[in-house]
Structure 1
Amino acid sequence: METLKTYSIGQIAKKYHVTVPTLRYYDEQGLLPFVKRNEAGQRIFTDDDMGYLEVVDCLKRSAIPLRDIKTFMQWCVEGDDTLPERYQFMIDHEAALEQKIKVLQANLAFLRWKKWYYQHANEAGTEQIFFEPGTTQVDPKWREQYLAERQE
């Protein structure tokens, strides 16, 4: 029988660009139920653990709460009986992430408009060029001009 290669917590931390204390915290919080320990009580990871670690890393980077990641990882360890729950988990979090992306895209679009606005205000030496007479309200024609320029 082939022996699996093992990795220290430091090697895993380096590979996934996290700190050793972060990995210890994840383990203490139940996100790494697959982790084994050697005779000295140190956490050891194997090639088989890499898939789990990739899932934890992706879910964490997707801003999924740790308690949800813990639940998901428990289902993974439980096996095939939890496939429906894991599938639904992915559906739900995919939808949530797509919504976050839409919000971020809208924010990015607004920031780009304001960047254009401030570029032109800097060139003119004032933002007064954008205001409706006698107000500090931006004349809508400027936003329309910005959008038209983006279309070209």
Structure 2
Amino acid sequence: MNRKEVSELIGFSADTLRYYERIGVIPPVKRDKNGYRYYRLLDIDWLFLVKCLKDAGLSMEALIEFTKLNQLGENEPAQKAILQEQLVDLERKFAEMKRTRKLLRHKIDTFEDHTAKMDVDHVEELWKMSKFQIPKQE
């Protein structure tokens, strides 16, 4: 597949594809006889993984490290550790988002009550409500 097709499929611009290859976020891409990049299914799969990891918040440094480990071929535990760390971070962020969503739903559902009682004597004390409490850090 050529660069334009891959750009449309994955959602990275041509400049981003070249940049990611240059800095090591993706392994070097094969070239055809004219020197044009030719993306194989393995390359496309890797780009899809990179996009998902990037969208999930994995840093560029971690993406580069992940790619280097993959190219070495003997560091599967280290690669797996990077993915596990990202999963833990993503789970934490997801829990925070769920808590915030509950809070927003509560505020919307009870909006009229709040605006009618907007004074110092009628504070909800949201931080004390169990459904909104921030989990303790371990």
How many percent of aligned residue pairs carry the same amino acid? 22
Distance 1:30 1:112 in 2: 43
Q: Is the 8 A contact 1:34 1:77 kept in 2?
A: no
Give the AA of the match of 1:82.
N
Paired position in structure 1 for 2:100: 107
Q: Residue deviations 1:38-72, cap 9 Å, x none? A: 34433221122232122212211111011101110
Distance 1:16 1:93 in 2: 21
Paired residue secondary structure (2:28): coil
Paired position in structure 1 for 2:132: none
**Structure having the larger proportion of residues in strand:** 1
Q: Residue deviations 1:58-114, cap 9 Å, x none? A: 2111110111011101111211x1111111112211111111111111111111112
Distance 2:37 2:55 in 1: 23
Distance 1:54 1:78 in 2: 20
Higher relative contact order (CA 8 A, sep 6+): 2
Paired position in structure 2 for 1:138: 123
Distance 1:139 1:30 in 2: 51
Q: Which of 64, 69, 93 is equivalent to 2:63? A: 69
The RMSD of aligned alpha carbons is: 2.6
Q: Is the 8 A contact 1:27 1:33 kept in 2?
A: yes
Distance 1:107 1:114 in 2: 10
Give the alignment's TM-score, normalised by structure 1: 0.72
Give the AA of the match of 1:86.
Q
Unpaired runs of 5+ in structure 2? 130-138
Give the alignment's TM-score, normalised by structure 2: 0.78
Unpaired runs of 5+ in structure 1? 1-6, 145-152
Q: Report how many residues are paired.
A: 129
Paired position in structure 2 for 1:127: 115
Paired position in structure 1 for 2:54: 60
Query: Which has the larger Rg?
Result: 1
